[in-house]
Structure 1
C-alpha cells in the first residue's frame, strides 16, 4: 500500500515502511514541504508498534537526493546579500532560514530515531541528501554511490550536520572532503565511517523487500557484500600531512609541495572555491570535532548558514554554478576578521524543543 503526500511517498512493506523522496527530475532535491512531511511520517512511525524499520530511498535512477532546493535559496540569498537591514535575519523573515530551521531539526530527529532507519545511499547523495541519510543508524551504499558535501563551491559551508560527520573522519579525510567538495564512492564512504554496509545496486529492490519480509539482519546477511578498496583512503598518508596545516592557504601550499598529480589537482580545486567559505568551513570542522552532540553542531551550522545568506559569495556561487552555469564565480575579497562574524549567536538560535 502506498500513499503519495506531495513529493514524498510512504509505502508499506511488511514490517517496514518505505520513505521515498519523489522529485526524480531534480534528483529528489529537498524542499520545505518534503522536510515537513518526512518529519510528520517519522514521528508517527516512531510510536507505531507495527513498524519495525523505515527504509529511505529516492525515486528515479539518478540518486537518493542532490541536496536542497538551491534555486529557491538563491532567490533569498540574492535579495539579502549585503543588506544592512537583515542583521536580525531569522526563520520569521527568511524562507531559507525557516527551511533550515526545520531541516536541521529533522536531521537531529533522524539521528535519534528509535527504530531501524535504513538509508539507501545509492547514486547521487549530496548536501541535504547526506543530512537525511548519514545520521541514520543503518547506512547502505552501493557501487553507484556518489556522496559529496559540495557547499564551498557555491560560497556556502557544509550543513545538515555535515561538519559533525566530517570532523570525525580521521587522517584529514573529512577535511579533504569538506574543502574540495570531492565526490566519494561507496567504498570511500565505508572507509571514512560515513556508511555501514555495501549492497550492489542491482540487488536493491530485493534487499528492500527482504527488510520488510525477513527483517533487517536477515536482509543484510543475504545481500550485503564487502566493499571494494577505497581509492581515497589509499592516499591518507599525504592527505593527513597536508590537511593538518593551520590555514587554508597553508593546506594548499602543502598539497603543492607534495608534487603528485593528485595533490596538485587537490590544491587547484581548493584554490578555486570561495575563500570565505573555505575559511569558515575549516573553522567549522575543527570546532565540530569538540562538540558533544549533533545538536551542538547544528546550532552552529544554523548560525553559519544564515550568515552565508548575507554574504555575497553565496548568491554569486549559486549564480555561477546553477543559474547561469558559466562556472566562473567572482568571489568577494577575503578578510580573516570577517570569519568571526559567521559564528556569533543569533537573536533566535536553532532550538530542538517540541
Structure 2
C-alpha cells in the first residue's frame, strides 16, 4: 500500500490490521513531514474502511522513534524559512490519532521521544517493551513538550508529567505503566506474535491483554512521592522553592532535579510549566491550538536554535540561553507565547 511515504514509512494490510512501520532506522525513525502526511492519509483511508478493524504502528531497528527531524528544522529556520507547516500537519495528525474511531495500537520498542511520542501515545493501546524509553526532553534544547504533551503530561499520576516535561527525565516500561503512559507492558520477543494476533482477530483488547506482563516501577516509591510533593504545586516558583528547601537539607534527589531544571532553557521551563498546567483543563484540540501558538513564537526566537546548535551541531557545547536565568523571564514574556495568532491552526 502506498500513501506517499516512500522509503520512510511502510503501510501494509495484514488480515484485519492496517500495519504502519517507521522505516528510517539509521535516523532512529525520526519523524519527517513526508511521514506525517503519509500517516495522515492512511488514517483517513482506514477510518471508514470496514475491512480494517484496527491500526498497528511500530518502528524498524533499535528505536521506535527518537523524535522529529530536528536538523532539517534547524537548517530551515536559520535560512529564514521556519517549517511551520510541518508542525501544523504534525499537530493535525496527533489530533487525528487521538480521535481515531478504531483501536490504534502502538508497539513501542526502544526510544520514543518528541515526534515519536506524538504518533504513538495518543493511541488507544500503548504497549511498551522492556527496551522502551520514553522522554520529552525538549526544554533541554530550548523548545517545549509539544505533539500533544500538553494533553498527555498533566493527566499522568501524581504530578509525574510535570516532572517529565520540566526535566526531560527518561523513564522505562514500569514507570510508564504505573503513571498511565503505557496501557500494557509486553516482552520484545512477543511483538511479531502480537501483530499476528491483532491481524487474525481484529480484537485489540483481548490480544493486548493476553500478552500483557507485570512490570515493576524503575523509580522507587520514595522518589515517586518526592516528585508528587515537589511538582504538585500550582506554580513553577513554588516547585522550585520546594526543591531548594529540600536540597538545602541534603536531599540528593531534590538537588539533582533542581540542578537539571536550572540548566534547561529558562524560557522553555516557564513556558512548559504553563503549557502543562493549562492543558489539564483543555481538550486535545484546544491543546493543539495552544501548542501551535507556542511553536510559532519559538521558531521566531533564539533559544530553540541555540539549543540545537549546542546539542546537535556542536555536540555537547554549553548553550547560551536568552535570558539565562529563570528570574529574568517575566510573566509578560511567557504570556506572549500563548497569545492568539492572526492565523490560528485550522483543525
- Give 1:93-242 correspondences, 5 Å limit: 94-214=81-201, 215-231=203-219, 234-242=222-230
User: Partners of 1:11 and 1:21 in 2: how far apart?
Assistant: 12
Runs of 4+ in structure 1 over 4 Å off: 1-4
Q: Which moved more, 1:237-246 or 1:282-291?
A: 237-246
Match of 1:335 in 2: 329
User: Partners of 2:15 and 2:232 in 1: how far apart?
Assistant: 49
- Deviation of 1:191 after TM superposition, in Å, equals 1.2
Return closer, same or farther for 1:194/1:264 CA change in 2, 3 Å cut-off: same
- Output one character per residue of 1:120-179: Cα deviation in whole Å (capped at 9) or x when no partner: 122100011111111111111111110011110000011111111101123221100000
Match of 1:18 in 2: 19
Let me know the Cα RMSD of the aligned residues: 1.8
The answer to whether 1:281 aligns with 2:276 is: no
Q: Is the 2:194–2:211 contact (alpha carbons within 8 Å) kept by the matching residues of 1?
A: yes
- Deviation of 1:271 after TM superposition, in Å, equals 0.8
The answer to whether 1:325 aligns with 2:315 is: yes
- Deviation of 1:216 after TM superposition, in Å, equals 2.6
- Deviation of 1:236 after TM superposition, in Å, equals 2.7
User: Partners of 2:220 and 2:188 in 1: how far apart?
Assistant: 21
Return closer, same or farther for 1:301/1:221 CA change in 2, 3 Å cut-off: closer
- Output one character per residue of 1:41-71: Cα deviation in whole Å (capped at 9) or x when no partner: 11111111111111000111x2211111100
- Deviation of 1:232 after TM superposition, in Å, equals 5.9
How many aligned residue pairs are there? 337
User: Partners of 1:344 and 1:314 in 2: how far apart?
Assistant: 19
Match of 2:37 in 1: 36
Which stretches in structure 1 are left out of the alignment for 5+ residues? 81-93
Q: Is the 1:77–1:314 contact (alpha carbons within 8 Å) kept by the matching residues of 2?
A: no
Return closer, same or farther for 1:4/1:298 CA change in 2, 3 Å cut-off: closer
Match of 2:49 in 1: 48
Return closer, same or farther for 1:140/1:203 CA change in 2, 3 Å cut-off: same
- Deviation of 1:79 after TM superposition, in Å, equals 4.1
Q: What is the TM-score of this pair, normalised by structure 1?
A: 0.90
User: Partners of 2:291 and 2:42 in 1: how far apart?
Assistant: 25
Give the secondary-structure state (helix, strand or coil) at the position aligned to 1:55. strand
Which stretches in structure 2 are left out of the alignment for 5+ residues? none
Q: What is the TM-score of this pair, normalised by structure 2?
A: 0.92
